[in-house]
Amino acid sequence: MTPEVRVSRVYDAPSAADGTRVLVDRVWPRGLRKDAIRLDDWIKDVAPSTGLRQWYGHDPAKFGEFRRRYLGELIGGTQRAALGRLRALARSGRPLTLLTATRDVEHSQAAVLARLLRADPGDEGGEAACFAHLVCPECGAVTAEGHRPGCRARWPGPAAREDGES
């Protein structure tokens, strides 16, 4: 069963359908008091690095490259543990709402996380935070979303031949 994962702005009013509400930004949202919002958890270690966030600058034209770099950051030990916490919440059977202060939630780290958490990793990879098999080694795209134009890899690929024919 695919987990029900949503993305919302932290400034939006909570809904009864939100389920577990988790802030996934590294820094606390401007203008909000911690006691003024309904929040179940704040998992800042799953957020992109300050350097990546500043490079991206929420420019939609950079989103594809941002997503590739961000997925690369998520394999670090601390980030992977934080992703494991999110994955456990997503598999709890309750809806999970990822909260971000970003205005354009479709081009945010929360959107990348939601797609990743909705993907079914199956039994491959062992621990719950393992997602490396979902990323194409050739083009860096999340394979559930399709490959980048020009990618010659046929992922997942033990059955793929070197000449690209299946």
Q: What is the pLDDT of residues 112-137, one digit of tens each?
A: 999 999 985 543 344 434 455 556 55
What is the maximal distance between C-alpha atoms in the chain? 58
Range 81-102 average pLDDT: 94
Tell me, rounded to whole angstroms, the distance of Cα 95 from its chain centroid.
16
Q: Where are the domains of the chain?
A: 5-126, 136-166
Distance CA 114, CA 97 (A): 9
3-state secondary structure of 2: coil
Cα separation, 21 vs 157, in Å, equals: 36
Residue type, 21: R
What integer pLDDT is reported at residue 25 of this predicted model? 96
3-state secondary structure of 99: strand
Task: For 47-64, write each residue's pLDDT tens digit.
Answer: 999 999 999 999 999 999
Task: Give the burial class of 140: count Cβ atoms within 10 A of its Cβ; 0-12 exposed, 13-18 middle, 19 or more buried.
Answer: middle
More confident residue, 120 or 103: 103
Q: How far apart are CA 69 and CA 91, in angstroms?
A: 25
